Amino acid sequence: MAKHAAHKSITRPKVSKAGQKRVSKKISHLHKAEPEMPHKKMVAMALSMERAHRLGPKGAYKPVRKAAKGKKK
């Protein structure tokens, strides 16, 4: 009887349908810009950007503007 390799329990991150579209576009952007980067790293980067609300509707990076210190309006 052959023993099977132990499988890790892989949980998929919960991302909305619109979020999946943004992540997919970001992965394709990264693949074009950095073809030598491992695919798993691209996926991890895109998912972390999506969770941090840093992806625009077309998968582009959306910087968050921070208020300057010491300035008053």
24 vs 18: CA distance, rounded Å? 10
Largest CA distance in the chain: 75
How confident is the prediction along the chain (73 residues), in pLDDT tens digits per residue? 556 656 565 667 788 888 999 999 999 999 999 999 999 999 999 999 999 989 988 888 887 777 666 665 5
pLDDT at 73: 56
pTM of the model: 0.69
Helices (H), the chain: 17-33, 39-51
Assign 73 to helix, strand or coil: coil
Cα dihedral 45, 50, 52, 54 sign: positive
Checking phi first, is residue 11 left (phi over 0); if not, alpha (psi -120 to 50) or beta?
beta
Domain map of the chain by residue range? 17-51
